[in-house]
């Protein structure tokens, strides 16, 4: 048993890696084992980013960090296009994996090459629903964060809060809030999210 496993996906520069760091610090504060790996490739700003996180009772319980096929307990899909990637869907186990997907339409680079480009939102949602079944949840976190905080910057942290409220995190609220405070960025907004 390697403990809890999650994939956080999204677009570079939007806080995906920060969410992984917050989870890691919260696990550390609870004296749990944690490992994470960030896969950003050349996408520091604007490209696909994947953070794999494992949390277990102790570091000795973690043997691999990368989440393999059917082993994700949570997918925090901060960008619908990235969430629909085969490498994310393969980690999902129907009826087990909680899959939270932000439905905000963030145009990828393809949009700059074709003004007629439109996101295949329904196709992506169907692929995610097929993989996760009734554990798939869709909502526009970007719109909600903008309405609540006056900025879309809190969208991904809002999704983390949504995951917590749906029993998707093996961490206490106190540890997550303390980790957000230690991160030191937009603390009031991120704790509220």
| Predicted pLDDT of residue 192 | 60
Q: Tell me the domains of the chain and their CATH numbers.
A: 4-192 (3.40.920.10)
Q: 132 burial class (0-12, 13-18, 19+ CB within 10 angstroms)?
A: buried
pLDDT along the chain (193 residues), means of 10: 90 87 96 93 70 95 94 96 95 97 72 59 95 96 89 86 93 94 67 56
Q: Kind of pairing, strands 136-139 and 4-11?
A: unpaired
CA dihedral 82, 6, 66, 1 (to 10 degrees): -150
Give me the pLDDT at residue 73, please. Answer: 98
Report the DSSP beta bridge partners of residue 6: 53, 74
User: In this predicted structure, what is the pLDDT of residue 48?
Assistant: 87
- At 111 the pLDDT is 47
Phi, psi (degrees; rounded to nearest 5) at 188 = -60, -45
SS (H, E, C) 1-59: CCCEEEEEEEECCCCHHHHHHHHHHHHHHCCCEEEEEEECCCCCCCCEEEEEEEEECCH
């Amino acid at each position: 048993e390697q403990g809890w496993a999650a994939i956080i996906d999204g677009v570079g520069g939007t806080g995906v890696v920060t969410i992984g760091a917050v989870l890691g610090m919260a696990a550390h504060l609870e004296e749990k084992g944690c490992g994470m790996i960030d896969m950003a490739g050349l996408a520091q700003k604007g490209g696909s980013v994947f953070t794999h996180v494992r949390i277990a009772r102790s570091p000795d319980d973690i043997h691999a960090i990368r989440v393999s096929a059917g082993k994700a307990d949570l997918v925090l899909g901060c960008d619908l296009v990235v969430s629909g990637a085969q490498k994310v869907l393969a980690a999902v186990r129907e009826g087990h994996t909680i899959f939270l997907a932000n439905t905000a339409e963030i145009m990828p680079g393809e949009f700059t090459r074709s003004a007629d480009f439109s996101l295949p939102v329904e196709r992506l949602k169907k692929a995610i629903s097929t993989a996760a079944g009734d554990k798939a949840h869709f909502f526009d976190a970007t719109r909600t964060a903008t309405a609540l905080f006056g900025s879309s910057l809190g969208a991904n942290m809002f999704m983390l809060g949504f995951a917590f409220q749906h029993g998707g995190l093996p961490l206490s609220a106190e540890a997550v809030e303390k980790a957000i405070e230690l991160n030191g960025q937009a603390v009031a907004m991120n704790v509220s999210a």
